[in-house]
Amino acid sequence: MKKLLIGLLAFALVFPSTTKADEGMWLPMFVKRLNYKDMKEKGLQLTPEEIYSVNNSSLKDAIVRLGGGFCTGEIISNQGLMLTNHHCGYSVIQEKSTVENDYLTDGFWAMKKEDELPAGFSVSFLQSMDDVSAVINAKLNDEMSVDERNKVIQQLADSIESAIEGDEKYIEASVKSFFKGNEFYVFVYKTFPDVRLVGAPPSSVGKFGGDTDNWMWPRHTGDFTMFRVYAGEDNEPAEYSETNKPYTPKHFLPISLEGVNQGDYAMIFGYPGSTDRFLTSYGIKLAIEKDQPSRVKIRREKLDIYEKYQAKSDEVRIQYASKHARVSNYWKYFIGQTQGLKRLKVYDKKKKIEDDFESWVDKDGSRKEKYGEVISMYQDAYNTLDEVQLAETYLFEAIFGIEMIRFGIGFTRLKGQLEALTAAEKEGDTEKVEAQKQALEGTLARMKAAAEGHFKDYYKPIDQEVFAAMIEFYESDIDSKYKPAACNEYVAKFKGDYKKMAEKVFSKSFLSDKESVMEFLDDPSAKTLSKDPGIMLAEAFYSFYLSDLQIMLKPARDKKSTADRLFVDGLRKMYPNKVFADDANSTMRVTYGNVFDYYPQDAVKYDFVTTAEGILEKEDPTNPEFIVPEKLKTLIKNKDYGKYSDKDGDLVVCFLSNNDITGGNSGSPVINAKGYLIGTAFDGNWEAMSGDIAFEPNLQRTISVDVRYTLFIIDKYAGASHLIDEMKLIYPSKKNDAPAPMAEPTKAEKKM
């Protein structure tokens, strides 16, 4: 994310240049100017134009953003075949699964294109990115309030985006802020809505190791899933249709069978979601003392409840598989991050930066005028945040983690429409009545569709038990002045018996039953909504969050926002010769480094690869996380790896590189020096869980599935060799072979 803090921190450790990780998630448009020399020194054999080009095909054209950026994918054939992580496709696999067709347990493989299943999400290809900082900053000044500043930025962003998008339905322009509001860039995407599930290994492969191995090394997880992007007859985006054709991309990634060696160049393209490496010592203190321990506590309770019921029923196991995965992933993440921040003494390091910043400011009168109040602004802001922000954390983690409450929020909006219709009818305004009825009709249709999806994966006993536990946490841990009065009054009636409260709410509210919801939506009534306890609580919590709590938090957050902008601006001036990369914000970035092992602690060394032998070593038939399918076990025992083995006859499963990634990079391609795919990134390592806040070059590692293991599972295990036939495989060759020109069409493309 940025060479930033390594440059900033005088305390940064010095490592040999051959093993030093490069901190930075870089905008590809700046590779030629900022990074190319360093990339070449690390082994890159491509030109900057082969990495990023607007006018010619380049690596960027093979990289896709899934949805709004929840994961990354890469195109690996001239027929729109896309590779990403198993956990990125997990919700799709779960949604398609039933007890009779349990794709989570058994895997799914479309043996012909007609068998591929609609995925329900879109993918976007980046077309271009441009710096619009001068346009926006020209209209801003330091005398503006945060609201005034944001209003101007939004107006200019809307104007820029509208001018680019025009009437193009599938073109999206997005202006993003960088360096805490000091720079602005516009990104232009082409979005393809027709994406289909092609293949997924069983969870015993794609999720092997489960929560136990999550964020850990050594790893033996085949974390991959395959989709296909479809287009209309003109190869342009189109809504789902049986007549659509596989998309022919501008570029797809050839796949290397050469494998990885210690020190090999490794580059990752993707859409990292968010990091916070400018976070101050004040933010670290709040995170490790209050925020993260609360998230861990709440999530663990939900997981325990999920698991109790999932163990009793295959239907419930499938229903809650995706929900469990979402909760558990960051449950463990927050544990690891808190431990890492403490172990690596990040608070002290951040405090040192702030002290150095103040010293730099005090040496110049003009600096004191502009930056002199930055640290005191942080102090004032966190005096409030330390007290109030936890109430917001509990709302999102606990209260909105209750499915009834979250589902009920939609009905609070419906109540407003029903009341508006009644008012229009009383006024006798026929035109307004008709408009309100049409709007209401559309809302009800959407809510019925939402209810179908909600109840497909809903189990009332789980939600009722979660309700009781979450309300108890909320009541015991949050001061009443930071909770809605209506909730306080309702809870008081039950005198601390949260189980009884849950039973009452779930027996009286129509929200917990699909038939009751559908019956209500057929004949909606504002009066019914007003009497429903589930709706009442949903409305109380949601209204309190939008109004009261935000009013409490806004002055502190505005002050922090201003301090952030000035602090980062000052830091960049403080170190004028440093090359900075900004925090992740779901925009395309490239990170580069090398394949490397690491030393997690004294006298312990971790190798840079794992092999299939380790799968059998971890096997435990009594533990669902470590079950090995019989066919896979046989293939491994017989070393029946085919062309996917390494030179020693072993099958590499995962490998490490010192690339700088975060959430959103899941599914990102790992690309070698010649532009070939060598793996798919899916995780970070436990010892560097603090990396989203403070990069540690000697510890930070990216865990990736070796592409040869992916192909082995597709081919030898699943028997889906027709998918292998689509790909362009690059067999082992001499190290000094030159890469194929990126802009040249492949043989497969010439045949199209």
- Mean local confidence (pLDDT), 345-354: 96
Question: Within a 10 A sphere around the Cβ of 190, how many other Cβ atoms?
Answer: 15
C-alpha 294/C-alpha 335 separation (Å) is 10
At 29, list the tokens.
């448009």
Q: Measuring CA to CA, how many Å separate 516 from each of 299, 419, 511, 538, 582?
A: 30, 21, 7, 17, 50
- Given a cut of 50, whether residue 744 has pLDDT beyond it is no
The active-site residue, picked from 53, 57, 87, 512, is 87
The active-site residue, picked from 61, 194, 213, 223, is 223
Is 548 in the active site? no
pLDDT tens digits, 389-436: 999 999 999 999 999 999 999 998 898 899 989 998 898 888 889 999
- Mean local confidence (pLDDT), 471-489: 94
- Given a cut of 60, whether residue 325 has pLDDT beyond it is yes
Is 666 in the active site? yes
180: left (phi over 0), alpha (psi -120 to 50) or beta: left
pLDDT for the residue 428: 87
Q: Measuring CA to CA, how many Å separate 46 from each of 59, 182, 267, 435, 642?
A: 10, 32, 11, 59, 30
Does residue 58 contact residue 671 with C-beta atoms inside 8 Å?
no
Whole-structure pTM value: 0.91
Least confident of 16-20, 181-185, 415-419, 580-584: 16-20
Dihedral of the CA atoms 47, 269, 575, 368 (nearest 10)?
Answer: 140
pLDDT for the residue 185: 98
pLDDT for the residue 697: 86
- Mean local confidence (pLDDT), 430-445: 92
pLDDT tens digits, 268-289: 999 999 999 999 999 999 999 9
pLDDT tens digits, 694-739: 998 889 999 999 999 999 999 999 999 999 999 999 999 755 455 5
pLDDT for the residue 737: 52
Least confident of 77-86, 170-179, 426-435, 508-517: 426-435
Q: Which helix (H) or strand (E) holds 671?
A: strand 669-671
Sequence spans of domains, the chain: 4-122+193-274+583-751, 281-568
Distance between first and last Cα of the chain: 39
The active-site residue, picked from 57, 177, 509, 666, is 666
- Given a cut of 50, whether residue 743 has pLDDT beyond it is no
pLDDT for the residue 751: 35
pLDDT for the residue 733: 76
- Mean local confidence (pLDDT), 460-465: 98
pLDDT for the residue 295: 97
Contact residues for 484 (Cβ-Cβ < 8 A; gap 6+): 540, 541, 543, 544, 548
Is 324 in the active site? no
pLDDT > 70: percent of the chain: 95
**Which amino acid is present at 243?**
T
The listed CATH number (1.20.1440.230, 2.40.10.120, 3.20.20.140, 3.40.50.150) that belongs to domain 4-122+193-274+583-751: 2.40.10.120
Mean pLDDT of the chain: 93
Q: In terms of C-beta density within 10 A (0-12 exposed, 13-18 middle, 19 or more buried), how is residue 460 classed?
A: middle
pLDDT tens digits, 233-259: 999 999 999 999 999 999 999 999 999
C-alpha 253/C-alpha 729 separation (Å) is 10
